[in-house]
Amino acid sequence: MSLRIIKAGIQDTVQDLGRYGYQQAGINPSGAMDRYAMQVANALVGNELHEAVLELHFPSSVILFTRPLMIAITGADFSSSINGEPVPLNQGIVVNKNDALQFHRPVSGARSYLAVQGGFQMNHWLESQSTNLKATAGGYEGRALRKGDELICRTEGEYSKYLNGKNFRILPWTADHQSGDNSKEILILPGKEWDRLPAASRERFLGTPFLITKLADRMGFHLGNEPLDILPGEELVSSAVTFGTIQLLPDGKLIILMADHQTTGGYPCVAHVITAHHSKLAQKRSAEALHFKMTDLETAEQLLQKQQQHIKQLQNACLFKLQPYA
Amino acid sequence: MGYVRVTKKHIIFNNTPMTTPTLSYQLFPLGDSALTLDWGNRIDEAINLEVMARYQQFRHQQFPGFIEAVPAYSSLTVYYDPVFIRKLLPAEGTAFNYVRERITEIMAVELTYKETNSRMVRIPVCYDASLSPDLEHILEENKITVEELISLHTGRIYRVYMMGFLPGFAYMGEVDEQLAMARKLRPKSTKAGSVGIAGRQTGIYPFTSPGGWQIIGMTPIELFNRNRKEPTLLQAGDRVQFYSIDKYEFAHY
């Protein structure tokens, strides 16, 4: 055993980069909402980037470590502490047996990620460790973590030499999480039905902020917009959708599909959030505003490539820093 | 003796090799990591046969960066990894263009296919009002008796056009016009095993879930089991026939 949930969070699950290859059976991919933060957490502890991590929402689980481990917390800032002492985001931390990790306040962002060196000992379901809540499969018994759950880490590491009698130790390097992208806009690409929006609706789409409503979870973010018009057209038969697809619902409101989206849908697809901005989007909370800006495929691909290069560089740097400890 | 008009309904596709008709399609991006081939937004068996044949072809002739393909009624979506593909490309050029070219090459191959999947699945359904919250409503609206409803619903062999909505949910069609029924205005909690109708589609809920389909019966069999190697009972291209069981058989199934 390596860690135990001593108090349950609102919805904390095991997630990796998602389960692909089964959407033709209606099995949605799941996976981390903020895959950038999830990969940074893995890089910091020297894991493969696709290793499964814990995705935490606020209020989050209280976690007791039952053996020394190396961990990293990334993504949302929930004001974390170990044994009551504040600990930083985006840094490796060696924890000791009986250390307790707690999250106190939702300071910024919506989802935090906890990676453990070596990853979790857990069965794969259809080649992935992601929790699929709909299918109640994958991850930890196919469900969110509860009080008393015990997770085993694969780590064989000997961490006592890091600790020198101390309770826990924060490793002295930080991941630069922002990757230079501080723009407030969420970049989008036109969807198949973009042209069915009248000019005034398109203008509103790109010119006014859209508030995220309370209906914002792993499945999708409902937006609280003034109803948008759409030109009449034939009713659509269902077809595949994807993470980031923005659909126009019959009442004129928008929904952005997120990690637990259905595999197919029959509503007009007016736009798609570019993949490089999924991470930024996943950290938005209810009542926050989204500013959409149109871009093109070339830019979308370049930004994604840049983001992935940044994570790779970070991974290499962390592996180098971790060498003396190996 | 007059002419017999041959309509699509009379063509038997089962294992009959045939050349693909040249159906035209549109190709458009679905965000920056997928693209969709669209044969025209219709529920049409000939189109869906083409979709399924192309789906099989894509699975067997995978190009670098291919992740998966998802067939639907009249479209096929291909998911790819743009970062992986861009590493293979010269400095200019998008992953989208690369994938479009690969797909255009594959699509240029004349397809001699037969329906590769000729599975027939028989599914028991109990059409008892106690298990079917919308049965009375549909009988009233469509002015038919429960015996007629059972005979119409079990009297046809349906095609699984696509999977979606929930893990293991099969979109089947088409039901007799006398069974056609609009969706509910507001989704209601629907029990696992519920057999429903929406328009001229029929389907079964594998999980208890909010749903808008009109429920006419319930099956005792499991549509989804995560412990099976193939977790879903049905797959796109299957043939399905329903048969009626009574409440006693349902309870003791």
Distance CA A65, CA A271 (A): 44
* Residues of chain A with C-beta less than 8 angstroms from the C-beta of B207: 134-135
Q: How far is CA B150 from CA A256, B156, B215, in A?
A: 40, 11, 13
CATH label of the domain that carries residue A287 = 2.40.100.10
Least confident of A137-151, A166-180, A266-280, B50-64: A166-180
Runs of H (alpha helix) within chain B: 45-60, 82-88, 95-108, 135-142, 146-154, 247-251
Retrieve residue A307's tokens: 């983001």
Write down the pLDDT at residue B9.
Answer: 34
Q: Is the pLDDT of residue A168 over 80?
A: yes
Nearest to B32 among A25, A265, A297 (CB): A297
Nearest to B83 among A238, A262, A308 (CB): A308
In single-letter form, the type of residue at position B76 comes to L
Measured between CA atoms, the residue of chain A closest to residue B55 is A24
Contact A301 B86 (CB under 8 A): yes
Are A212 and A275 contained in the same domain? yes
* Sign of CA pseudo-dihedral B48, B53, B57, B59: positive
Distance CA B45, CA B73 (A): 9
Q: Residue A292, SS3?
A: strand
Distance CA B25, CA B43 (A): 15
Residue-wise pLDDT for A293-302, tens only, equals 999 999 999 9
Q: Residue A72: give the domain boundaries.
A: 3-177
Are A158 and A189 contained in the same domain? no
Listed residue (B28, B70, B105, B69) closest to A297, CA to CA:
B28
* Residues of chain B with C-beta less than 8 angstroms from the C-beta of A239: 36, 38, 72-75, 77
Are A98 and A200 contained in the same domain? no
Distance from CA of A100 to the nearest CA of B (A): 34
Write down the pLDDT at residue B22.
Answer: 61
Q: What angle separates helix A297-322 from helix A35-44, to the nearest 10 degrees?
A: 20
Contact A135 B95 (CB under 8 A): no
Contact A242 B32 (CB under 8 A): no
Cis amide linkage into residue B124, ω under 30° from 0 = no
Listed residue (A214, A12, A212) closest to A103, CA to CA:
A12
In single-letter form, the type of residue at position A155 comes to T
Average of per-residue pLDDT values in chain A: 94
Nearest to A192 among B28, B72, B73 (CB): B28
User: pLDDT below 70 — which residues of chain B?
Assistant: 1-22, 113-117
Listed residue (B169, B154, B85) closest to B122, CA to CA:
B154
Listed residue (A227, A264, A262, A277) closest to A248, CA to CA:
A227
Contact B168 A25 (CB under 8 A): yes
> A320 in a domain, yes or no?
no
Q: Residue B33, SS3?
A: coil
Class of domain B8-113: alpha beta
Pairing label, strands A185-190, A289-294: parallel
Retrieve residue A319's tokens: 């592996």
Q: Residue A309, SS3?
A: helix
Nearest to A264 among B42, B165, B235 (CB): B165
> A326 in a domain, yes or no?
no
**pLDDT average, residue stretch A146-174:** 88
Q: Which residue has the higher pLDDT, A226 or B125?
A: B125
Q: Is the pLDDT of residue A85 over 60?
A: yes
Are A42 and A147 contained in the same domain? yes
Distance from CA of A252 to the nearest CA of B (A): 15
Write down the pLDDT at residue A157.
Answer: 77
Report how many Cβ contacts below 8 Å link chain A to chain B.
145
Contact A244 B31 (CB under 8 A): yes
Contact A272 B31 (CB under 8 A): yes
Distance from CA of A98 to the nearest CA of B (A): 35
pLDDT band, residue A176 (cuts 50/70/90) = confident
Are A263 and A118 contained in the same domain? no
Radius of gyration of chain A (CA): 20
Write down the pLDDT at residue B10.
Answer: 30
Distance CA A189, CA A267 (A): 17
Write down the pLDDT at residue B115.
Answer: 61
> A118 in a domain, yes or no?
yes
Measured between CA atoms, the residue of chain B closest to residue A190 is B31
Q: Is the pLDDT of residue A213 over 80?
A: yes
Contact A26 B168 (CB under 8 A): yes
> A269 in a domain, yes or no?
yes
> A314 in a domain, yes or no?
no
Please state the length of chain A: 326
Q: Provide the 10 A C-beta neighbour count for residue A236.
A: 16
* Residues of chain B with C-beta less than 8 angstroms from the C-beta of A313: none
Distance from CA of A82 to the nearest CA of B (A): 37
Measured between CA atoms, the residue of chain B closest to residue A188 is B31
Contact A237 B30 (CB under 8 A): no
* Torsion angle of C-alpha atoms A120, A135, B237, B154, degrees rounded to 10: 160
> A312 in a domain, yes or no?
no
Are A14 and A149 contained in the same domain? yes
Measured between CA atoms, the residue of chain A closest to residue B200 is A237
Distance CA A147, CA A63 (A): 9
Residue-wise pLDDT for B132-166, tens only, equals 999 999 999 999 999 999 999 999 999 999 999 99
Are A171 and A143 contained in the same domain? yes
Write down the pLDDT at residue B15.
Answer: 41
Distance CA A108, CA A37 (A): 14
Write down the pLDDT at residue B117.
Answer: 65
Write down the pLDDT at residue B5.
Answer: 35
Distance CA B148, CA A323 (A): 75
Are A90 and A117 contained in the same domain? yes
Question: What 8-state DSSP symbol labels residue B113?
Answer: E
Are A199 and A140 contained in the same domain? no
Distance from CA of B134 to the nearest CA of A (A): 23
Q: What angle separates helix B135-142 from helix B146-154, to the nearest 10 degrees?
A: 90
Nearest to A264 among B55, B82, B164 (CB): B164
Measured between CA atoms, the residue of chain B closest to residue A189 is B31
- Structurally, chain A folds into a number of domains equal to 2
Listed residue (B36, B100, B47) closest to B69, CA to CA:
B36
Which residue shows structure tokens 């499945």?
A219
Distance from CA of A300 to the nearest CA of B (A): 7
> A301 in a domain, yes or no?
no
Measured between CA atoms, the residue of chain B closest to residue A191 is B30
CB-side neighbour CA atoms (13 Å) of B147: 0
Distance from CA of A28 to the nearest CA of B (A): 7
Q: Where in chain B is the domain with CATH 3.30.1360.40?
A: 8-113
Distance CA A280, CA A276 (A): 8
Are A83 and A165 contained in the same domain? yes
Our measurement of the distance from residue A158's CA atom to the centroid of its chain's CA atoms, rounded to an integer in Å, reads: 30
Nearest to B162 among A20, A245, A264 (CB): A264
Write down the pLDDT at residue A1.
Answer: 74
Question: The pTM is what?
Answer: 0.93
Pairing label, strands A3-7, A13-15: unpaired
Distance CA A286, CA A141 (A): 29
Measured between CA atoms, the residue of chain B closest to residue A241 is B30
* Residues of chain B with C-beta less than 8 angstroms from the C-beta of A304: 32, 82-83
> A8 in a domain, yes or no?
yes
Contact B164 A238 (CB under 8 A): yes
Are residues B202 and B195 in contact, defined by beta-carbon separation less than 8 angstroms? Answer: yes
* Residues of chain A with C-beta less than 8 angstroms from the C-beta of B41: 234, 236-237
* Residues of chain B with C-beta less than 8 angstroms from the C-beta of A236: 41
* Torsion angle of C-alpha atoms A274, A79, A131, A9, degrees rounded to 10: -140
Nearest to A24 among B42, B163, B231 (CB): B163
Are A113 and A57 contained in the same domain? yes
Q: Does domain B120-251 have CATH number 1.10.3720.10?
A: no
Are A22 and A47 contained in the same domain? yes
